[in-house]
Structure 1
Amino acid sequence: MAGLIRFALSQRILVLLAVFLLAGGGYYAFKNIPIDAFPEVSPTQVKIIVKAPGMTPEEVEARITAPIEVDLLGISHQTMLRSIAKYALTDITVDFEEGTDIFWARQQIAERLNGMWGNLPAGVSGGIAPMTTPLGEMFMFSIEGGGLSLMEKRDLLDWVIRPALRTVPGVADVNSLGGMVRSFVVMPDNARLAARGINMDKLISALQNNNRNDGAGRITEGEEALVVRAEGRIKTLADVKAIVVDVNQGMSITVDDVADVSIDALTRYGAVSKDGKGEAVTGLVLSLRGANARQTIVGIEQKLAEISPGFPEGVQVKVFYNRGDLVDKAVDTVFHALMEAIVLVVILLILFLGNLRAAVTVALALPLAAMVTFILMKYTGMSANLMSLGGLAIAIGM
């Protein structure tokens, strides 16, 4: 120890340079380590969500959940396979051993799922869920004002806000909750169908085949080439009504002749209310596994500020949950604990030693210890959260 002290006293410039490097490295590590409110406690996990409209839980379990579970058996490093079957939906979760690479796990699941997807009933949809965690809900907001209806608010969320927020680094997905999803609704009239000799299959086939744009080649004139397209995608109610279902004695039978067409909402399985004042439309932002929550939330806030001028007049996005607030409080707790500890140490050392220089020298060990901690956290891949930062505050002595 005496030799170390003599070396530090004789090589002051070298020691001072080491202190500056340590402080700089610690600050860089603190700015770049993932910071979140909660520690990641879940193992490597892959979720599969499959939708099957109209199926009961028993049918979903027998025709979808069980075949997928059988096909997923035998994947390396798998520790648990569990599922929940609900009306028109199944949620399958596969847990892997701690330390398993999440991208490797998702690739294994995707290969098995793609190989057996053709054996599932027609009309099912879904697949592997976004790469998030059970604690991935980091930002929640509602759309208010402007006198918009629930359907108009949902359109704004689905077609403007959600695509924009999904471009933010660190965002896994944005879930749309509440409101009404706009759709064209065709209500067949059995009497009119029977009178014209048209069955339901023919009506469905006409709607499916006449809702698309097709290419029809090109016409070349000299050095110019004209692209020929047949536009048939549905845009308005009039387009739906004008679709030809059949031809009888030279007369076209359209959808409007055999069904009532209107704009309505998809079947809803729930609703969202806020503050007991009726229904609301809300968005839920999910973070990617291992993303830096503080940087991601800053990106979300910047993106909302960027697109908000394009909203209808009076429409506002009101945030009612922001995990960044918890992150900032956790960081502030450590910062204030560090500052208070330094001040108390300096005061006590001055009182007992009567030497300001000695007091400051000892007090500098506290921030340097924090810097070393951040460097080691960065090196080992450990994230900063309420628990790790709280432990650092306790270690400092506060």
Structure 2
Amino acid sequence: MSTENKLKIRDFGPTSWALKNKNTVYLISGIIALFGMIAYKGLPKELFPEVYFPTIMVQTVYPGNPPVDMENLISRPLEKELENVKGLKKLTSTSLQDASMILVEFNTNVEISDALQETKDAVDRAKSELPSDILSDPLVSDIDFSEFPIININLSGDFSIEELKKYAEYLENEIENVKEVSKVNIQGIEEREIAIEVDMIKMEALGLSFNDIEGAIAYENVSMSGGDIKLGKMRRSIRILGEFKSIKEIEEIVVKREQDRTIYVRDVADVIDGYEEASTKARLNGQTVISVQVVKK
């Protein structure tokens, strides 16, 4: 008895074509790899990509209370209501002297507007448990991480504060011209301020008051329109400039005239050219610096 074995050859079209046209396959593979590299290099890249973390801050000020009382009277009642907020991921509270701060972090699928409203509603429910003599309601605000600076440029050296501020303002103007930059903040120095330090004893001896000195200075530091004048066929506007240009001008302001005596600002006060009281300070390695902070769009 004989059995006839038949050999069946199976053929898969794409594979067979690739084997018969290997040069074409190599060419197509090379073209795909080339376009892949070009597309990869063209992908937008950011050193500091925008990160979305819906986070809300609840701040409460209650003067005259230590951290322990702030925790018991403020933080805990608020936490009790905030724990029931939908989409809550993490709750962190910090009780300080006279203040309480609570960070409410939500899941990334929660819109910041919804998170803000949910937090406000929870704070409103907790108000009945807060002390009745609290000066102001808890402040609820969202935290925008895109407002945090991505670069800090610190300026220091053997220069005066005025020179460092001038360099910082120059950098501010140049960096703000970059289209990817949203804004530039200067920290570590305040705005220029002219301080009038009055000698109380001299002021009382001369029969003056703070209003007299304030009024005299304010009246002199004014620029106003002086009308207009006709020159030929044209009419020109006149403006009288009265703003101070030097400390000497302030010192020479007349505060009061009585009989044969004239009282000037310099007689009752010292005029000091300085800066506002510092609200921020920047330091590097223990040395005071001016910090230029760059915020991206």
Are 2:35 and 1:21 aligned? yes
Distance 1:253 1:138 in 2: 54
Q: Contact (CA 8 Å) 1:132, 1:286: kept in 2 or not? A: no
Distance 1:39 1:24 in 2: 25
Distance 2:215 2:228 in 1: 28
Summarize the Cα distance change of 1:235–1:170 in structure 2 as closer, same or farther, 3 Å threshold: farther
Equivalent residue number for residue 258 of structure 1: 268
Match of 1:35 among 37, 47, 52: 47
Equivalent residue number for residue 128 of structure 2: none
Q: Contact (CA 8 Å) 1:137, 1:285: kept in 2 or not? A: yes
Distance 2:100 2:163 in 1: 28
Counterpart residue type for residue 238 of structure 2:
V
TM-score (norm 1): 0.43
Q: Contact (CA 8 Å) 2:203, 2:268: kept in 1 or not? A: yes
Summarize the Cα distance change of 1:144–1:236 in structure 2 as closer, same or farther, 3 Å threshold: same
Q: Contact (CA 8 Å) 2:92, 2:103: kept in 1 or not? A: yes
The secondary structure found in structure 2 opposite 1:201 is helix
Aligned sequence identity (%): 19
The secondary structure found in structure 1 opposite 2:171 is helix
Distance 2:101 2:215 in 1: 31
The secondary structure found in structure 1 opposite 2:150 is strand
Deviation at 1:5, TM superposition (A): 4.8
Instruction: Give 1:213-232 correspondences, 5 Å limit.
Output: 213-232=223-242
RMSD of the TM alignment (CA)? Answer: 5.0
Summarize the Cα distance change of 1:205–1:132 in structure 2 as closer, same or farther, 3 Å threshold: farther
Are 2:179 and 1:169 aligned? yes
Counterpart residue type for residue 272 of structure 2:
S
Distance 1:203 1:256 in 2: 11
Deviation at 1:185, TM superposition (A): 1.8
Summarize the Cα distance change of 1:251–1:177 in structure 2 as closer, same or farther, 3 Å threshold: same
Are 2:166 and 1:156 aligned? yes
Q: Which moved more, 1:226-235 or 1:211-220?
A: 211-220
Q: Contact (CA 8 Å) 1:154, 1:179: kept in 2 or not? A: no
Q: Contact (CA 8 Å) 1:142, 1:280: kept in 2 or not? A: no
Distance 1:90 1:237 in 2: 44
The secondary structure found in structure 1 opposite 2:177 is coil
Q: Contact (CA 8 Å) 2:256, 2:263: kept in 1 or not? A: yes
Deviation at 1:261, TM superposition (A): 0.9
Distance 2:243 2:110 in 1: 45
Counterpart residue type for residue 51 of structure 2:
E
Equivalent residue number for residue 142 of structure 1: 154
Stretches of structure 1 that go unaligned for 5 or more consecutive residues are: 50-55, 60-76, 109-127, 292-398
Instruction: Give 1:93-104 correspondences, 5 Å limit.
Output: 98=108
The structure that has the greater radius of gyration is 2
Distance 1:91 1:234 in 2: 44
Distance 1:169 1:34 in 2: 14
Summarize the Cα distance change of 1:249–1:97 in structure 2 as closer, same or farther, 3 Å threshold: farther
Stretches of structure 2 that go unaligned for 5 or more consecutive residues are: 1-11, 65-85, 118-140
Distance 1:202 1:82 in 2: 52
Equivalent residue number for residue 289 of structure 2: 281
Equivalent residue number for residue 195 of structure 2: 185
Higher RCO (CA 8 Å, separation ≥ 6 residues)? 1
Cα deviation, 1:137-195, whole Å, max 9, x if unaligned, reads 432333244x323x234422553333333333333444434467643221012233224
**Alignment coverage as a number of residue pairs:** 233
The secondary structure found in structure 2 opposite 1:281 is strand
Cα deviation, 1:352-372, whole Å, max 9, x if unaligned, reads xxxxxxxxxxxxxxxxxxxxx
Structure with greater proportional helix content: 1
Equivalent residue number for residue 207 of structure 2: 197
Distance 1:90 1:231 in 2: 50
Counterpart residue type for residue 22 of structure 1:
G
Distance 1:253 1:3 in 2: 108
Distance 1:165 1:48 in 2: 34
Counterpart residue type for residue 180 of structure 2:
G
Distance 2:267 2:251 in 1: 8
